[in-house]
Structure 1
Protein backbone atom coordinates (compact mmCIF):
# COMPACT_ATOMS: atom_id res chain seq x y z
CA UNK A 1 0.00 0.00 0.00
CA UNK A 2 2.84 2.35 0.85
CA UNK A 3 4.44 1.76 -2.56
CA UNK A 4 1.12 2.48 -4.28
CA UNK A 5 0.89 5.79 -2.41
CA UNK A 6 4.42 6.82 -3.48
CA UNK A 7 3.68 5.83 -7.06
CA UNK A 8 0.48 7.87 -7.01
CA UNK A 9 2.31 10.93 -5.62
CA UNK A 10 5.04 10.54 -8.26
CA UNK A 11 2.52 10.29 -11.11
CA UNK A 12 0.56 13.30 -9.87
CA UNK A 13 3.70 15.41 -9.53
CA UNK A 14 4.81 14.49 -13.06
CA UNK A 15 1.37 15.42 -14.40
CA UNK A 16 1.37 18.78 -12.57
CA UNK A 17 4.87 19.57 -13.82
CA UNK A 18 3.94 18.63 -17.39
CA UNK A 19 0.97 21.00 -17.28
CA UNK A 20 3.15 23.89 -16.11
CA UNK A 21 5.60 23.73 -19.00
CA UNK A 22 4.80 25.77 -22.06
CA UNK A 23 3.72 24.07 -25.29
CA UNK A 24 5.93 24.38 -28.34
CA UNK A 25 3.09 24.57 -30.91
CA UNK A 26 3.57 27.15 -33.61
CA UNK A 27 1.16 30.08 -33.61
CA UNK A 28 1.13 33.03 -36.01
CA UNK A 29 0.67 36.75 -35.81
CA UNK A 30 -1.94 38.38 -38.04
CA UNK A 31 0.86 39.27 -40.48
CA UNK A 32 1.97 35.61 -40.69
CA UNK A 33 5.06 35.65 -38.46
CA UNK A 34 5.53 32.41 -36.51
CA UNK A 35 6.03 32.27 -32.76
CA UNK A 36 5.15 29.99 -29.82
CA UNK A 37 4.17 30.26 -26.17
CA UNK A 38 7.71 29.18 -25.31
CA UNK A 39 9.00 32.21 -27.24
CA UNK A 40 6.44 34.61 -25.75
CA UNK A 41 7.00 33.33 -22.20
CA UNK A 42 10.79 33.08 -22.25
CA UNK A 43 11.31 36.34 -20.36
CA UNK A 44 10.44 36.78 -16.72
CA UNK A 45 7.59 39.07 -17.70
CA UNK A 46 4.05 38.16 -16.79
CA UNK A 47 1.77 37.51 -19.74
CA UNK A 48 -1.85 36.50 -20.18
CA UNK A 49 -2.90 34.15 -22.95
CA UNK A 50 -6.57 33.99 -23.86
CA UNK A 51 -7.73 31.31 -26.29
CA UNK A 52 -10.85 32.51 -28.09
CA UNK A 53 -12.84 32.21 -31.31
CA UNK A 54 -14.97 34.56 -33.42
CA UNK A 55 -18.01 32.30 -32.94
CA UNK A 56 -17.64 32.25 -29.13
CA UNK A 57 -19.75 34.95 -27.45
CA UNK A 58 -18.27 34.45 -23.94
CA UNK A 59 -14.78 34.74 -25.48
CA UNK A 60 -15.56 38.10 -27.07
CA UNK A 61 -17.23 39.31 -23.86
CA UNK A 62 -14.13 38.38 -21.87
CA UNK A 63 -11.77 40.12 -24.29
CA UNK A 64 -14.01 43.23 -24.35
CA UNK A 65 -13.95 43.32 -20.53
CA UNK A 66 -10.17 42.88 -20.42
CA UNK A 67 -9.70 45.56 -23.09
CA UNK A 68 -11.71 48.03 -20.97
CA UNK A 69 -9.18 47.76 -18.11
CA UNK A 70 -6.06 46.69 -20.01
CA UNK A 71 -4.29 50.07 -19.87
CA UNK A 72 -4.75 50.20 -16.09
CA UNK A 73 -3.47 46.62 -15.78
CA UNK A 74 -0.38 47.49 -17.81
CA UNK A 75 0.29 50.63 -15.78
CA UNK A 76 0.04 48.73 -12.49
CA UNK A 77 1.69 45.39 -13.36
CA UNK A 78 3.29 45.62 -16.82
CA UNK A 79 1.26 42.58 -17.96
CA UNK A 80 0.99 41.85 -21.67
CA UNK A 81 -2.11 40.11 -23.07
CA UNK A 82 -2.13 37.88 -26.14
CA UNK A 83 -5.48 36.76 -27.58
CA UNK A 84 -4.99 33.51 -29.51
CA UNK A 85 -7.79 32.75 -31.97
CA UNK A 86 -8.56 29.06 -32.44
CA UNK A 87 -10.68 29.74 -35.52
CA UNK A 88 -10.00 27.07 -38.14
CA UNK A 89 -9.50 27.52 -41.88
CA UNK A 90 -13.26 27.97 -42.41
CA UNK A 91 -13.64 30.90 -39.99
CA UNK A 92 -10.15 32.44 -39.65
CA UNK A 93 -11.02 35.05 -42.30
CA UNK A 94 -13.41 36.59 -39.74
CA UNK A 95 -10.66 37.29 -37.19
CA UNK A 96 -9.07 40.41 -38.67
CA UNK A 97 -12.36 42.26 -39.41
CA UNK A 98 -13.68 41.43 -35.92
CA UNK A 99 -10.47 42.59 -34.24
CA UNK A 100 -10.42 45.80 -36.29
CA UNK A 101 -14.02 46.50 -35.29
CA UNK A 102 -13.33 45.84 -31.61
CA UNK A 103 -10.09 47.87 -31.54
CA UNK A 104 -8.62 45.57 -28.88
CA UNK A 105 -5.30 46.88 -27.55
CA UNK A 106 -3.59 43.51 -27.20
CA UNK A 107 -1.79 41.35 -29.73
CA UNK A 108 -3.85 38.85 -31.70
CA UNK A 109 -2.35 35.47 -32.62
CA UNK A 110 -3.71 32.56 -34.66
CA UNK A 111 -3.83 28.85 -33.82
CA UNK A 112 -5.59 27.80 -37.03
CA UNK A 113 -4.70 24.10 -36.75
CA UNK A 114 -5.61 24.03 -33.04
CA UNK A 115 -2.16 22.63 -32.20
CA UNK A 116 -1.74 24.94 -29.21
CA UNK A 117 -5.29 24.24 -28.05
CA UNK A 118 -4.56 20.48 -28.18
CA UNK A 119 -1.19 20.81 -26.39
CA UNK A 120 -2.89 22.78 -23.62
CA UNK A 121 -5.64 20.16 -23.36
CA UNK A 122 -8.28 22.86 -23.81
CA UNK A 123 -11.67 21.25 -24.27
CA UNK A 124 -13.46 24.58 -24.59
CA UNK A 125 -12.82 28.28 -25.06
CA UNK A 126 -12.34 30.75 -23.58
CA UNK A 127 -9.28 29.44 -21.81
CA UNK A 128 -7.20 32.01 -19.96
CA UNK A 129 -3.65 31.43 -18.75
CA UNK A 130 -1.18 33.48 -16.78
CA UNK A 131 2.44 32.73 -17.63
CA UNK A 132 5.36 33.82 -15.46
CA UNK A 133 8.99 32.74 -15.76
CA UNK A 134 8.13 30.41 -18.63
CA UNK A 135 5.56 28.47 -16.58
CA UNK A 136 1.78 28.42 -16.50
CA UNK A 137 0.89 29.73 -13.03
CA UNK A 138 -2.87 30.15 -13.48
CA UNK A 139 -5.48 28.54 -15.71
CA UNK A 140 -9.18 29.34 -16.02
CA UNK A 141 -11.82 28.00 -18.40
CA UNK A 142 -15.01 29.84 -19.30
CA UNK A 143 -16.14 33.40 -18.64
CA UNK A 144 -18.73 35.09 -16.51
CA UNK A 145 -19.00 38.87 -16.01
CA UNK A 146 -16.55 39.95 -13.34
CA UNK A 147 -14.07 37.13 -14.01
CA UNK A 148 -11.64 39.76 -15.28
CA UNK A 149 -11.40 41.11 -11.70
CA UNK A 150 -10.39 37.65 -10.45
CA UNK A 151 -7.88 37.44 -13.30
CA UNK A 152 -6.36 40.78 -12.31
CA UNK A 153 -6.04 39.64 -8.68
CA UNK A 154 -4.12 36.60 -9.94
CA UNK A 155 -1.94 38.83 -12.15
CA UNK A 156 -1.08 40.99 -9.13
CA UNK A 157 -0.18 37.89 -7.08
CA UNK A 158 2.36 36.83 -9.70
CA UNK A 159 3.75 40.21 -10.76
Structure 2
Protein backbone atom coordinates (compact mmCIF):
# COMPACT_ATOMS: atom_id res chain seq x y z
CA UNK A 1 0.00 0.00 0.00
CA UNK A 2 2.83 2.40 0.85
CA UNK A 3 4.45 1.67 -2.48
CA UNK A 4 1.19 2.45 -4.27
CA UNK A 5 0.86 5.77 -2.44
CA UNK A 6 4.51 6.66 -3.15
CA UNK A 7 4.02 5.83 -6.83
CA UNK A 8 0.88 7.97 -6.95
CA UNK A 9 2.66 10.92 -5.31
CA UNK A 10 5.63 10.61 -7.68
CA UNK A 11 3.29 10.46 -10.68
CA UNK A 12 1.37 13.51 -9.45
CA UNK A 13 4.54 15.54 -8.97
CA UNK A 14 5.88 14.50 -12.37
CA UNK A 15 2.57 15.40 -14.02
CA UNK A 16 2.50 18.81 -12.34
CA UNK A 17 6.06 19.48 -13.41
CA UNK A 18 5.28 18.45 -16.98
CA UNK A 19 2.14 20.62 -17.02
CA UNK A 20 4.18 23.66 -16.05
CA UNK A 21 6.83 22.94 -18.67
CA UNK A 22 4.43 22.23 -21.53
CA UNK A 23 4.20 25.11 -23.92
CA UNK A 24 7.58 26.54 -22.95
CA UNK A 25 9.94 27.73 -25.69
CA UNK A 26 7.15 27.86 -28.27
CA UNK A 27 6.26 30.97 -30.22
CA UNK A 28 3.05 32.81 -29.45
CA UNK A 29 0.46 31.72 -32.06
CA UNK A 30 -1.43 34.26 -34.13
CA UNK A 31 -5.18 34.19 -33.48
CA UNK A 32 -7.62 37.03 -34.08
CA UNK A 33 -9.46 37.94 -30.86
CA UNK A 34 -11.52 40.94 -29.83
CA UNK A 35 -11.11 43.12 -26.79
CA UNK A 36 -14.13 44.17 -24.72
CA UNK A 37 -14.74 47.11 -27.09
CA UNK A 38 -14.76 44.89 -30.19
CA UNK A 39 -11.30 45.89 -31.46
CA UNK A 40 -9.56 42.98 -33.24
CA UNK A 41 -6.17 41.97 -31.79
CA UNK A 42 -3.66 39.54 -33.33
CA UNK A 43 -2.29 37.48 -30.44
CA UNK A 44 1.07 36.97 -32.17
CA UNK A 45 1.71 40.70 -31.66
CA UNK A 46 0.95 40.83 -27.92
CA UNK A 47 4.63 40.89 -26.90
CA UNK A 48 5.73 43.43 -29.52
CA UNK A 49 6.28 46.16 -26.90
CA UNK A 50 7.89 43.98 -24.23
CA UNK A 51 7.19 40.99 -22.04
CA UNK A 52 3.60 39.92 -21.58
CA UNK A 53 1.76 37.78 -19.06
CA UNK A 54 -1.17 35.93 -20.61
CA UNK A 55 -3.71 34.62 -18.14
CA UNK A 56 -6.58 32.44 -19.35
CA UNK A 57 -9.59 32.84 -17.06
CA UNK A 58 -13.40 32.78 -16.91
CA UNK A 59 -16.00 34.58 -14.81
CA UNK A 60 -17.20 31.22 -13.45
CA UNK A 61 -13.67 30.24 -12.31
CA UNK A 62 -12.99 31.23 -8.69
CA UNK A 63 -9.23 30.42 -8.73
CA UNK A 64 -8.90 32.49 -11.94
CA UNK A 65 -10.48 35.52 -10.32
CA UNK A 66 -8.41 35.10 -7.14
CA UNK A 67 -5.21 35.00 -9.20
CA UNK A 68 -6.04 38.06 -11.30
CA UNK A 69 -7.32 40.02 -8.30
CA UNK A 70 -4.12 39.22 -6.38
CA UNK A 71 -1.90 40.24 -9.29
CA UNK A 72 -3.97 43.43 -9.63
CA UNK A 73 -2.51 44.61 -6.32
CA UNK A 74 1.12 44.32 -7.52
CA UNK A 75 0.61 44.93 -11.24
CA UNK A 76 1.55 48.65 -11.23
CA UNK A 77 4.87 47.75 -9.55
CA UNK A 78 5.51 44.98 -12.09
CA UNK A 79 4.76 47.36 -14.96
CA UNK A 80 7.21 49.89 -13.60
CA UNK A 81 9.92 47.36 -12.78
CA UNK A 82 9.69 45.09 -15.84
CA UNK A 83 7.60 46.93 -18.43
CA UNK A 84 5.27 43.95 -18.50
CA UNK A 85 1.71 43.92 -19.83
CA UNK A 86 -0.91 41.51 -18.52
CA UNK A 87 -3.46 40.18 -20.97
CA UNK A 88 -6.44 38.43 -19.39
CA UNK A 89 -8.01 36.11 -21.97
CA UNK A 90 -11.59 35.26 -21.10
CA UNK A 91 -12.77 31.86 -22.26
CA UNK A 92 -16.37 32.66 -21.34
CA UNK A 93 -18.68 31.34 -24.03
CA UNK A 94 -21.66 32.99 -25.70
CA UNK A 95 -23.83 32.39 -22.61
CA UNK A 96 -21.51 34.07 -20.10
CA UNK A 97 -19.35 36.47 -22.12
CA UNK A 98 -21.62 39.45 -21.36
CA UNK A 99 -20.67 39.20 -17.69
CA UNK A 100 -16.96 39.75 -18.50
CA UNK A 101 -17.07 43.56 -18.82
CA UNK A 102 -19.28 43.82 -15.74
CA UNK A 103 -16.78 41.84 -13.66
CA UNK A 104 -13.67 43.53 -15.11
CA UNK A 105 -15.05 47.05 -14.67
CA UNK A 106 -16.28 46.22 -11.17
CA UNK A 107 -12.75 45.21 -10.20
CA UNK A 108 -11.13 48.15 -12.03
CA UNK A 109 -8.61 45.88 -13.71
CA UNK A 110 -6.05 47.77 -15.75
CA UNK A 111 -5.36 44.67 -17.84
CA UNK A 112 -5.89 44.17 -21.54
CA UNK A 113 -8.90 41.85 -21.64
CA UNK A 114 -9.46 39.73 -24.73
CA UNK A 115 -12.45 37.54 -25.49
CA UNK A 116 -11.96 33.96 -26.73
CA UNK A 117 -15.58 32.67 -26.78
CA UNK A 118 -14.82 29.93 -29.34
CA UNK A 119 -11.61 28.86 -27.53
CA UNK A 120 -9.49 29.31 -30.66
CA UNK A 121 -6.56 30.89 -28.79
CA UNK A 122 -7.07 28.53 -25.87
CA UNK A 123 -6.62 25.51 -28.17
CA UNK A 124 -3.67 27.10 -29.98
CA UNK A 125 -1.93 27.60 -26.62
CA UNK A 126 -2.72 24.07 -25.42
CA UNK A 127 -4.77 25.23 -22.44
CA UNK A 128 -6.90 22.48 -20.94
CA UNK A 129 -7.83 24.00 -17.58
CA UNK A 130 -8.07 27.51 -16.23
CA UNK A 131 -6.45 29.41 -14.75
CA UNK A 132 -3.45 28.95 -16.98
CA UNK A 133 -0.78 31.64 -17.05
CA UNK A 134 2.05 32.17 -19.51
CA UNK A 135 4.99 34.54 -19.58
CA UNK A 136 6.11 35.55 -23.06
CA UNK A 137 9.35 37.41 -23.81
CA UNK A 138 9.59 40.36 -26.19
CA UNK A 139 10.49 37.99 -29.05
CA UNK A 140 7.14 36.21 -28.68
CA UNK A 141 8.59 33.06 -27.10
CA UNK A 142 6.77 31.44 -24.20
CA UNK A 143 9.29 31.24 -21.35
CA UNK A 144 7.01 30.15 -18.48
CA UNK A 145 3.75 28.29 -18.12
CA UNK A 146 1.74 27.60 -14.97
CA UNK A 147 -1.59 25.86 -14.55
CA UNK A 148 -3.98 26.44 -11.63
CA UNK A 149 -3.60 28.93 -8.79
CA UNK A 150 -2.70 28.78 -5.12
CA UNK A 151 -1.88 31.76 -2.91
CA UNK A 152 1.79 32.59 -3.44
CA UNK A 153 1.88 31.58 -7.11
CA UNK A 154 2.20 35.28 -7.97
CA UNK A 155 5.60 35.17 -6.24
CA UNK A 156 6.69 32.42 -8.64
CA UNK A 157 5.56 34.59 -11.53
CA UNK A 158 7.49 37.54 -10.08
CA UNK A 159 10.62 35.36 -9.90
CA UNK A 160 10.16 34.40 -13.56
CA UNK A 161 9.84 38.08 -14.46
CA UNK A 162 13.10 38.74 -12.61
CA UNK A 163 14.80 35.86 -14.44
CA UNK A 164 13.53 37.16 -17.76
CA UNK A 165 14.75 40.71 -17.06
CA UNK A 166 18.25 39.36 -16.30
CA UNK A 167 18.36 37.59 -19.69
CA UNK A 168 17.46 40.68 -21.70
Using structure 2 for the length normalisation, give the TM-score. Answer: 0.81
Give the C-alpha shift of residue 29 in structure 1.
Answer: 0.8
The residue aligned with 1:87 is: 92
- Deviation, 1:36, is 2.3
Equivalent residue, structure 2, for 1:117: 122
Q: Following superposition of structure 1 onto structure 2, how do residues 13-92 of structure 1 map, counting pairs within 5 Å?
A: 20-43=26-49, 45-92=50-97
Structure 2 unaligned runs (5+)? 1-21
Distance 1:110 1:52 in 2: 10
Do the aligned partners of residues 17 and 80 (structure 1) sit closer, same or farther apart at CA in structure 2, a change above 3 Å counting?
closer
Q: Which ranges of 4 or more aligned residues in structure 1 deviate by more than 2 Å? A: 16-19
Q: Is the 8 A contact 1:127 1:141 kept in 2?
A: yes
* C-alpha distance after superposition, 1:40-93 (max 9, x if no partner): 1234x1110000000000000000010010011111111111111010111000
Report the 3-state secondary structure (helix = DSSP H, G, I; strand = E; otherwise coil) of the residue aligned with 1:96.
helix
- Greater CA drift, 18-27 or 116-125: 18-27
Unaligned runs of 5+ in 1: 1-15
Give the TM-score of the pair, scaled to structure 1: 0.85
Distance in 2, matches of 1:79 and 1:18, equals 18
Structure 1 142/69 Cα, relative in aligned 2: closer, same or farther at 3 Å? same
CA RMSD in angstroms, aligned pairs only: 1.6
Distance (whole Å) between structure 1 residues aligned to residue 81 and residue 23 of structure 2 = 30
User: How many angstroms apart in 1 are the aligned matches of 2:118 and 2:152?
Assistant: 31
